[in-house]
Amino acid sequence: MSLSWMAWTWPTAAFFIFILLAIATMGVWEHFSPGGGPRRGALGLDTTRGDRLFISIIGSAFIHLGWLALMGTPLWGALAISIAFLLAVFRWV
């Protein structure tokens, strides 16, 4: 499969596939455990599971951009920070 129509690289395609899989996983989770009632977290916001997924994805994008600006490649450190951020968001936000 050629990804040259949009000058994509395989890591970029993998990133979007991950987002698609995360949204699909959240959909399956919601199907089997509906509701996921809103809770008030550390930020004082009422958030649902979908809100926390969105916050963690957007936050991870900024973490990666900041890492690129300050450290350059490779992005393994940014990935580790992003995973820790995701876990913190789902735990405390």
Coil vs helix vs strand at 47? strand
Q: What residues does 39 pair with on adjacent strands?
A: 47
SS3 46: strand
The domains of the chain are located at: 4-92
Question: How many angstroms separate the CA atoms of 82 and 10, rounded?
Answer: 20
Q: Are 53 and 23 in contact (CB under 8 A)?
A: yes
What's the whole-model pTM score? Answer: 0.74
Nearest to 11 by CA among 56, 78, 59, 85: 78
Please give the distance of CA 44 from its chain centroid, rounded to a whole number: 21
Average pLDDT, the chain: 85
pLDDT, tens only, 18-33: 889 988 998 898 888 8
